[in-house]
Amino acid sequence: MTTSPSDAPRCPFHGDTASLTRRDSIASKIGEAIEVDEHGVYRIHDFQTARDILRAEGVRQAGFMSEVASGVRGLGNLPVLFEEGEKHHEMRRSTARYFTPTRVADYEPMIAALADELIAELIRKGEMNLDDLGLKLAVNVAAQVVGLTDSRLPGLERRIISFVEGGGDSEPGSTQPSRGWLSARRQQAQMALFYFLDVKPAIEARRRERKDDLISHLLDREYNDVEIMTECLTYGTAGMVTTREFISAAAWHLLKNPELRAEYVHGTEKERHAILHEILRLEPVVTMLYRRAEENLIVEGQTIPRGSLLALNVQEANVDLEVMGTDAGELCPGRKLPRGMQPQVLAFGDGHHRCPGAFLAIKESDVFLRRLLVWRDLEMITEPQVGYNEVVKGYELRGFRLCLGQGAQG
């Protein structure tokens, strides 16, 4: 088991920086590292066990509807999020160039221009919902990387978000009732709109002339239209939607804590990223990851039979007292962590399915938030309402109303 971090001076932001999105109170998981629920699901709460499972070779992806997608007709090439083995590794290697720090630096002028447009819109209107601004930013940035830049009609962000709104429980084997015939038909209609208005025109444009984006890359690999659409949809729900929520969560913390906001706005990029990583550790957008055991596993001395479903509680693992210390439930950007541990811990996952767009998500969040929070007269009108999305397995922050006039920048 990982040893506890050494004692360090207390961060000045302790005291009023507990999680704003949790549905329950933080409780230390004492005793068994693994519990088996009434449905036979192995539920993991501690960091070390969760990370070991994410890095294990004897498990496969089971979340984000991956086990449903594997049965879709015409899907010979699964999205990289769902693929396993050497095919997955090769696909990750071939697409890694879109998410390197060097490539993300090339996107920065585009991200900055988008951020400035959104803040200018906020100034013109006087007040807006931050969750709407965050969605526009996240979708438009990801669209540039993926290649969804030739839509026939505006509204890409609403078509993307429709796939995770009102959906059922994505936990494999969930007993939650189905959404019914009408909801299923509505989902089919939304997928058809996404294909004909966004994906198909992008494919047609890149068949005429390739660009340096994901859709062009998939065409070079001879992916068909269904496979390309599924890959685009995966990036939409797993990337665009989660970045939107994190922008709201980070802004909420920074606006509620003036000292933390000042440290962030006036800090170096490294210092700002450290603050964002610590907020993400405390507020992981995806709170549950799923794996299916492909062979018998020995975890913490316990045998998990082949075929078993493992539910890894990222929210609990990220506040594991044995790893993060007794102040695990509070923000401390200077937190001393064991060697080799990512500052956001498991918020981007781990192992071969770790989020490929992790650096991009932090970069675009930082570019936007610093430009927004530097305005001294920026104020919260209404704090967001916290909901929970069973498709993404994460929080939703809605109605986060901000106002901004023509006042001076800080």
- Per-residue confidence (pLDDT) for residue 25, from 0 to 100: 63
Please check whether residue 315 lies inside any domain of the structure: yes
pLDDT value for 177:
46
R_g over Cα of the chain = 21
For the chain (length 410 residues), average pLDDT per consecutive 10? 46 69 65 81 94 92 65 66 77 87 94 97 96 95 94 91 73 61 72 94 97 95 92 80 95 96 96 97 95 90 92 94 89 88 94 91 97 95 94 93 78
Q: How far is CA 317 from the centre of its chain?
A: 16
Give pLDDT, residue 3.
Answer: 42
Which DSSP category does 305 fall into?
Answer: -
User: Does a structural domain hold residue 339?
Assistant: yes
Q: Please choose, from the candidates 331, 334, 321, the residue with its C-alpha nearest in 3D space to the C-alpha of residue 16.
A: 331
For 147, residues 6+ apart whose C-beta sits below 8 A from its C-beta are: 202, 206, 211, 213, 214, 215, 216
Provide the pLDDT for residue 69. 56
Dihedral angle at the C-alpha atoms of 359, 51, 309, 161, nearest 10 degrees? -20
Is residue 111 within 8 Å of 374, Cβ to Cβ?
no
For residue 384, the model assigns a pLDDT of: 97
Report if residue 20 sits inside a domain. no
CA dist 255 and 244 (Å) reads 17
Domain with 388, as residue range(s), is 34-403
Residue 120 domain-assigned (yes or no): yes
Of residues 409, 355, 400, 350, the one with CA closest to residue 378? 409
Instruction: Please tell me the total count of domains within the chain.
Output: 1
CATH number where 91 lies: 1.10.630.10
Please list, in sequence order, all residues whose beta carbon lies within 8 angstroms of the beta carbon of residue 111, skipping any fewer than 6 positions away: 137, 141, 363, 364, 367, 368
Q: Does residue 142 fall inside a structural domain?
A: yes
Q: Does 58 reside within a domain?
A: yes
What are the residues whose beta carbons fall under 8 Å from the beta carbon of 67, sequence distance 6 or more? 172, 292
User: What is the structure's pLDDT at 2?
Assistant: 44
Domain membership flag for residue 181? yes
Within 8 A by CB and 6+ apart from 15, the residues are 330
Provide the CB-side half-sphere exposure for 305 (13 A, CA).
Answer: 5
Whole-structure pTM value:
0.91
What is the β-pairing status of strands 385-389 and 394-398?
A: antiparallel
> What's the CA gap between 324 and 337, in Å, rounded?
7
Does 328 fall in a domain?
A: yes
* Sole residue written with tokens 């909420």: 252
Are residues 75 and 328 in contact, defined by beta-carbon separation less than 8 angstroms?
A: no
